Structure formats: C-alpha cells, structure tokens
Amino acid sequence: MGLVTGAEKTKMKEEVWESLLPLVFHLHDQKENVAKAAQEALYFAGWFLKWQELTELALTAETWEISERLLQKNRRKTKDFLHQSEVYLQSPQEILRQDAVRFIGLIGQYVRERQTREYIKQGE
C-alpha cells in the first residue's frame, strides 16, 4: 500500500474506507483466523489512512469504539455504512447479526443528533 501514489492512492483510500465496516464486524467472527486477519487489516488500514486512532483501536479490537469513531470520522458515508450493515443482518453468525443491529442503531442515533442540531440552528 505504501507504493501507491497520486490518483491511484486516492482510489485506494476509497477502497480501504469501504472495507473498514466489514472488517469491524469480522473482529467478532467465529473463526479465530478470520477475526485475527480482520484485526490486522484494520491496523494496516489505519496506517495507510494515517488515522492513528484506528491503528490503536485495532490493537485492542474494541468494536464499539471503532464503530463510533468510524461514524464520527466520515459521516457522509452514513448511507453506505447502512447498506453494508444490512448485508450482515442475514449472516449465519449471530454475533455478526448483533453487531450489525448495534451499528444500525448507532447510525440512527447520529442521524437524530444531526437533525436536532439542524432544527436548533433553524430556530436561532
């Protein structure tokens, strides 16, 4: 990843961003090697994106913290995150379904907060 430059680097960053949420969900995968690979990929994604906090959180595999930071860092991808989460609602692994439901709830919370802020701004 370190050898990518210019327009290719921009495209690669987009692809890495698109991979983050699935990697977060797979931190709880029942197959230990999948969970470990997801953790390592998140670490290197944080390094590539120059997002130090992600690299630190990936080391501890704190799914909830990573999920919150993901939404805070890139709120314009909320719809994309929602669509990615919906796929995991059909997962045969219960833990992945639970993570998807929690993340969708977190999206709802952020959307409500944003709407409340906009409402307050209109009243000023």
Q: Residue 15: give the domain boundaries.
A: 6-123
Look up residue 103 and give its two tokens: 């993340």
Query: Do residues 84 and 22 make contact, with C-beta atoms less than 8 angstroms apart?
Result: yes
For 6, other C-beta atoms within 10 Å of its C-beta total 7
Per the structure block, which two tokens stand in for 93?
A: 């692994």
- Per-residue pLDDT band for 62 (boundaries 50, 70, 90) equals confident
Number of structural domains, the chain?
1
In a domain, 20, yes or no: yes
- Domain membership of residue 91 (yes or no) is yes
- pLDDT higher than threshold 90 for residue 115: no
What pLDDT score was predicted for residue 10?
A: 85
Assess if residue 33 is contained within a domain. Answer: yes
- What pTM was estimated for this model as a whole? 0.85
pLDDT of 4-57, one tens digit each?
Answer: 667 788 889 999 999 999 999 999 999 999 999 999 999 999 999 999 999 999
Percent of the chain with pLDDT over 70: 95
Residue among 19, 76, 89 at smallest CA distance from 107: 76
Tell whether 1 is covered by a domain: no
Does 69 map to a domain? yes
| Cα dist from 46 to 17, 34, 51, 56, 58, whole Å | 10, 18, 5, 8, 8
* Domain assignment of residue 89, yes or no: yes
